[in-house]
Structure 1
Amino acid sequence: MLNLMLIMMRANGGFHNRQRGATLIEYALIIAAIALVVLVGSMAITGDLTSFFDTVGGELE
């Protein structure tokens, strides 16, 4: 009976380690997606910001 409990505990520990690895990969994918959204968003507003600062610079001269 004790051997069976030890086997079950070892098997459960292995599953827990695999689950932790999967969680790490999921967090990495979420961070990569957020970085991609920030990059695309900043590229989309770059032209607008350049125009804005050109206009403000022209008014100040």
Structure 2
Amino acid sequence: MNRPYTFINVAMTADGKIDTFERKGSAISSAKDKARVDELRASVDGILVGGKLFWVKHPS
């Protein structure tokens, strides 16, 4: 039986932060990080995202 692989991609600052206190969505990923995410997305059959991202990308 073939088992699925799971990739988890997380970007955070050196002190473990993933956003600002005000939740303004500061960019903490580099262009190289974003290119790697594009490679991961292109190599999989499905992508699991959070609800907020889903509704931002698919508003209706």
Whichever of the two has the greater Rg, that structure is 1
User: Shared topology, TM-score over 0.5?
Assistant: no
Q: Which has the higher contact order (CA 8 A, sep 6+)?
A: 2
Structure with the largest fraction of helix: 1
Q: TM-score, normalised by structure 2?
A: 0.26
